[in-house]
Amino acid sequence: VQLHESGPGLVKPSETLSLTCTVSGGSVSSFYWSWVRQPPGKEFEWIANIYDSANTYYNPSLKSRVTMSVDTSKNQFSLKLSSVTAADTAVYFCARARTNSLQYFMDVWGKGTTVIVSS
């Protein structure tokens, strides 16, 4: 399985950040899928998970602004983050999350895409 993130690299403050992750070599209908970001010089922040194409889990700190969804016809999943500010500037990664006896871990990652929030 390979993952590839795509989307605009520059977003204006207060607008909505939209990213897509294309899944190749496997079906988006299986597994959990995740979004994680890494702000410059800071630690990783988990954003959201989705499984079974409809069940979503969001980081409470971002929940009011985040929407994650799956498009099975395109074998993609996506992230929308509304009302962005400079604090949302980061490298955004999509990843596959697997489970093993209730343990979760991200075993396949995309290369990441840089998003800068600036006017």
Partner 1 sequence: DIQMTQSPSSLSASIGDRVTITCRASQSISSFLNWYQQKPGKAPKLLIYAASSLQSGVPSRFSGSGSGTDFTLTISSLQPEDFAKYYCQQTYTTWTFGQGTKVEIK
Q: Residue numbers of the site for partner 1 (CB under 8 A)?
A: 43-46, 59-61, 93, 100-101, 103-107, 109-112
Residues 48 and 81: beta-carbon distance below 8 Å: no
Q: Considering the complex, state which of residue 86 and residue 104 has its C-beta at the smaller distance from partner 1.
A: 104
Q: How far is the CB of 48 from partner 1 (least distance, A)?
A: 10
Q: Sign of the C-alpha dihedral, residues 85, 87, 93, 97?
A: negative
Q: Considering the complex, state which of residue 46 and residue 67 has its C-beta at the smaller distance from partner 1.
A: 46
Q: Considering the complex, state which of residue 30 and residue 72 has its C-beta at the smaller distance from partner 1.
A: 30
Q: Where are the beta strands (DSSP E) in 8-65?
A: 10-11, 17-24, 32-38, 45-51, 55-58
